[in-house]
Amino acid sequence: MKNSLSVNKQSNLLYKQIYEYILNRIERNEWKEHDKLPSIRTLAQEMNVHRLTVFKAYQLLKQNGKVYVKDKSGYHVHPDSIVPFEHLDYPIASSYFLRNHLSEIHRVPAIYQFSQALIDPNLLPNLYFSEYVKEVFDLYPKVLGTYSTVQGDEELREVLSRYFLKRHQLHLSTDEILITSGAQQAIDLISRVLVKPNDTVLLERPTYSAAIDIFRQQGAHIVPIDIHPCGYDMEQVESYMRQYKPRLFYLNPTFHNPTGYTVPTEQRKRLVELAEQYRCFLVEDDPFHDTYFYQEPPPPLFMYDTEGWVMYIRSFSKYVAPGLRIAAVVSRPLLMRSLLTAKSLSDNGTPLLNQKIFLHYFSSARLQQHLEKLRIALHIRKGIMEEELAVTDWKWMSPKGGLNLWIKIPEVIPMEELLVKSIEQSISFVPGTICDPLKKSESWIRLSYSYVNEQQLRDGVQRLISLSCSLASSCGH
Ligand SMILES: Cc1ncc(COP(=O)(O)O)c(C=O)c1O
C-alpha cells in the first residue's frame, strides 16, 4: 500500500516535469505554432516513463490552452502559447528563460547611480588592500599556482568560525562553512540543491530581485509573503507552510533589501519553530548585518536553529571589497555535502588569491575601525537623501541600517516613463515591480543612498523630483 502511494506521488511529480519540459520547448520556439508534437508512445519511450504519465502531461497542456488535439493526428502546438520572437530578448541557451532584471538596469551607465545597492568605492579600504596583495604574495608565493579547495581556504574558514563564535555565540566547525563567490552564488547553489521544478518557494514581497529570477529559473512555484515594518504576519507564514508545504523560505530579515525593515527577535524564534514543524528550509541572506546606524540588529535566525533547517548566507562583499566577491554559507553537514557538489560543478572553488587577501584584512583590527566610520558615512548619506525628499509627498519608512530607501511615489507618476526619462538624464533607480514576485508594486521605487557622493546625492535627487513633477503635471495633475 505504502509503495503504491509513493509510486503515485512520484508519477504525479513526473508528469508535471514533462509538462514543463514540453512547455519550455514550445516557448523556446523549438516547436512552432501548429507543429505536431511527438506521439505519447514516442515521448514515453524517449523519456523512459509510462505512457500514462505523458498522457497526463499532454492533458494538462491541453487544459491550459498550450496544445490542441487534431482528429487522428495527435497533439499540436496552440498558436497562443508561442512567445513572439521580438519578445525574446536573449538567444535561448538553457532550458529556462534566463533573466536578471536587476543587472539589466545596472548595465545602464548613470552619473546619479541610485540603482546599485553598493557602497561608494571611496568609502572602502582600497589602500590597505594594495598592501595586503603584496603581503599575500610574500607569504604564499605559490598562491596563483594552485586551486583553493572547493569548500574554501581552511585558514579563512577557521577565522570565520572564530568570528561567528565571538560575534553570535555560534559554535561552527570549519566543515560547516563554505566560501562562495558572493551571496548571489550562494543563493544560486542553494536553489540548485534544494529546488526542483514545481517545488514551492516562499519569497518575501518585495524581495531582492535577483533571488526571484534565480528561483524562477529553477522552475519554482513562487508564493509571496508580505514583509511589513514590523516583520511578517506570522499566521500567514504558518498557514502557507501548512497549505503549500514549501521547500524553502528565502528571507533577508535584517535591513531587508529593498525595504530596510528588520524582523523582530520573537518572529525569528517562531520562524525557526515553524521551519522545524513544517520541514521547510529557511535560507537567511544577511549581507547588511553590520551596516546599522544606531544599535546592533537582532541576532540571525540561524542562532536559534538546532535541527539544521536554517542555511545562513553572510556576504562580506558589500562593505569590505565587492571586487573580491567573498561570502560564507553556513549549513549543517548533510546539506553541506550537496552544496559542495554544486559548488564544484559551478567553479571548483572561489579564487584562492581573493580569499587570502580578504583573510588578512578580515583578521586585522582595521575592519572594526572601517565599519565604525562607514556606518557614520552611510547614516549621513541616508540623511541627505531624506532631506532632499522631504519637499515631496513621497512616503517611506526611515531605515535603521542598510543601503536603500523604499519609497512610495504618487500613483499619477507613470513609472515606465519616469525610468526612461531618468536614464536619459543619467539617473538610475530600481522600479518596485522587479522586486515584487507578483510584478506589481508599480508606484514603488528603490533608491540607494550608498553609492554616489554627497553632492551627487543632492543633485540627483533634486533632478529626479523635478522630473517626476513634470511627468505628473503633463498627466494633468
Ligand atoms: C539581499 C541581497 N542578497 C545578495 C546580494 C548579492 O550579494 P553579493 O555581492 O555578495 O553577491 C545582494 C546585493 O545587493 C543583496 O541585496
CA distance linking residue 140 with residue 144, whole number of Å: 9
CA angle 20, 24, 28 (to 5 degrees): 175
CATH fold for the domain made of 2-81: Arc Repressor Mutant, subunit A (1.10.10)
Q: What is the pLDDT of residues 406-444, one digit of tens each?
A: 999 999 999 989 998 999 999 999 999 999 999 888 899
Query: Does the CB atom of residue 206 touch ligand 1 within 6 A?
Result: no
User: For the structural domain made of 126-365, what CATH number should be given?
Assistant: 3.40.640.10
Mean pLDDT (the chain, rounded): 90
Question: What size, in residues, is the chain?
Answer: 477
> What global pTM score does this model have?
0.80
Query: Does the CB atom of residue 183 touch ligand 1 within 6 A?
Result: yes
All cell numbers assigned to 181: 563567490
Contact between 194 and 250 under an 8 Å Cβ cutoff? The reply is no
All cell numbers assigned to 422: 531618468
Residue with cell 561567528: 164
All cell numbers assigned to 38: 511527438
Amino acid type, 129: F
Considering the chain, what percentage of its residues have pLDDT values greater than 90?
71
CA distance linking residue 246 with residue 48, whole number of Å: 28
Q: Is the peptide bond before 197 cis (omega within 30 degrees of 0)?
A: no
Query: Does the CB atom of residue 359 touch ligand 1 within 6 A?
Result: no
User: Would you state the pLDDT for residue 96?
Assistant: 35
- Ligand 1 centroid to 114 CA: how many Å? 16
Query: Does the CB atom of residue 252 touch ligand 1 within 6 A?
Result: yes
Cα 307 from chain centroid?
A: 24
CA distance linking residue 440 with residue 107, whole number of Å: 23
Domain ranges of the chain: 2-81, 91-122+367-474, 126-365
CA distance linking residue 462 with residue 444, whole number of Å: 18
CATH architecture of 91-122+367-474: Alpha-Beta Complex (3.90)
41 φ, ψ (degrees, to nearest 5):
-60, -45
Q: What is the pLDDT of residues 163-208, one digit of tens each?
A: 999 999 999 999 999 999 999 999 999 999 999 988 999 999 999 9
User: Would you state the pLDDT for residue 1?
Assistant: 35
- Ligand 1 centroid to 184 CA: how many Å? 6
Contact between 313 and 254 under an 8 Å Cβ cutoff? The reply is no
Q: Do domains 2-81 and 126-365 have the same CATH topology?
A: no
